[in-house]
Amino acid sequence: MKLTNVNENNWDELIKHDRVHQKLYTNQEIFAEEMTKIFAMTWVYLAHESEVPNVNDYKTGYLGSRPIIVTRDRHDEFRVLFNRCTHRGATVCRSDRGSAKVFTCPYHGWNFKNNGDLAGVPWPKAYGADFDTSEWGLKQARVESYRGFIFGTLNLNAPSLVDYLGPARELLDQWLDRYDGKKIVVGNAHRMVYKGNWKLTFDNAADGYHVSFSHRSLFETAGRMGEDKDMSYFAESPDYGPMVVQYLGNGHTFIDQRPNYKNIGDFWKQQRPQPGREVYEEIIRERYQDAADGLLDQAIGAQMYLNIFPNLCLIGNQIQVIQPHAVDKTELIWYSTTVEGLPEEINMLRMRTQEDFPAFGEPDDMTNFEECHLGLTIPEVEWVHTGRGLGVSGRQTVDERGVVSGPVTDELHIRNYYQEWKRLMSQPTTKTICENVKGGVSSL
Ligand code: FES
Ligand code: FE
């Protein structure tokens, strides 16, 4: 089978009910098309409000492959500005985070307010009467925020963010409501880069099939310290256990491990050993007595794996962002989180979970992503099998919201999100709409 032109919309030839084509992971044209039809037309996660806590704060990042600046402008509204000087194209902001009322382009000094307006240019008398500064402000994307999570899109016709989240919204609420109304604060991040396509991560994010094989060394470490340690249930016939994988619509996927945790204190008790945590536990137990079990449970992850298509994964108590850089180069950014108002020792333990799965587990996954990419570069072997669970009666259910559920090892998440991917990629190319976007948005 030959793919000559990705604009021919021949996606049915590349996405079948039980398999997808290797070109979806390795073809440069398809990647370029994704940056417009997926990473511009859907809501893409860009920043957390706690990363820009004060008026005039900003954070730089990417919307797909476009460099952007997320600002909280002087009217306390969030803006997503293209980090692209309207003079000759240079990025105007070159720091990760900071505070600025004005961004001055380092190249020739054009300066822009943090709402995008062009504030001034050096020696303006050299510009003629038809030079209209209102035409030359920084272009910007549509922005919405839900409970601290800031998303952007270039699609003026996209549904509201809440509608886009759909059933994923309720799960995001559950992830946040573990803390009795206290707010999460996003901290620094582990950043990792692998040589492979971004979808290898999204495939894996709701993959309960690989765990007992890919992360065997973690189980063995935990097993030496006693029974029932974190994730050991993946090795115990997960096809027949209580965990589920779900497809939530609009590309979003979910794994629920919570059925393995029945009582207050279980989350903490089932954690793998982490050197040094005993000291914190002692202090918490002594100081908080009967409340200690509940607090210690809040130190670790929610045992929910919620993946908001295309680039946001809530894993444990971390926020992981999938950042595509090229068809074969992806950055994974694991942000730590703390919670306002929790005891300092609990927040210290939350920070130290960065030393656990991101440090010990994610390298297993990234190795597989790179090895998958290497294998997928063989053009003669065309197909990736995604059919686990298909044609086996009684494994899948669909509820009244359209949420599809099955045993945690099913590949229903991949089959379903690729249908959404196909729908998005089949749409005609839409003209970028950023010039039509005016106002920012306040926190919800
Ligand atoms: Fe920014 Fe010239 S490129 S001022
Ligand atoms: Fe994994």
Instruction: Write the class of the CATH domain 44-148.
Output: mainly beta
Residue 283 Cβ < 6 Å to ligand 1: no
Q: Which CATH number fits domain 159-426: 3.30.930.20, 3.90.1150.10, 3.90.380.10, 3.40.50.2300?
A: 3.90.380.10
pTM of the model: 0.94
Residue 35 Cβ < 6 Å to ligand 1: no
pLDDT in tens, the chain (444 residues): 445 455 455 899 999 999 999 999 999 999 999 999 999 999 999 999 999 999 999 999 999 999 999 999 999 999 999 999 999 999 999 999 999 999 999 999 999 999 999 999 999 999 999 999 999 999 999 999 999 999 999 998 899 999 999 999 999 999 999 998 999 999 999 999 999 999 999 999 999 999 989 998 887 877 777 655 666 677 677 788 889 999 999 999 999 989 888 888 888 888 877 778 889 999 999 999 999 999 999 998 889 999 999 999 999 999 999 999 999 999 999 999 999 999 999 999 999 888 888 888 899 999 999 999 999 999 999 999 999 999 998 899 999 999 999 999 999 999 999 999 999 999 886 655 555 455 556 554
**Helix (H) / strand (E) containing 149:** strand 149-153
- Positions of E strands within 7-84: 15-16, 19-21, 44-48, 57-63, 66-72, 78-82
Q: Determine the distance separating the centroid of ligand 1 and the alpha carbon of 86, expressed in angstroms.
A: 7
Q: Determine the distance separating the centroid of ligand 2 and the alpha carbon of 43, expressed in angstroms.
A: 25
Pocket test for ligand 1, best of 83, 84, 87 (most atoms within 8 A of CB): 87
- Residues 154-162: contacts with CB under 8 Å, at least 24 apart: 154/40, 154/41, 154/63, 154/432, 154/433, 154/434, 155/40, 155/41, 155/42, 155/430, 155/433, 156/433, 156/436, 156/437, 158/41, 158/42, 158/43, 161/43
* Residue 273: C-alpha distances to residues 216, 225, 236, 268 (Å): 16, 7, 20, 10
Give residue limits of the domains in the chain.
44-148, 159-426
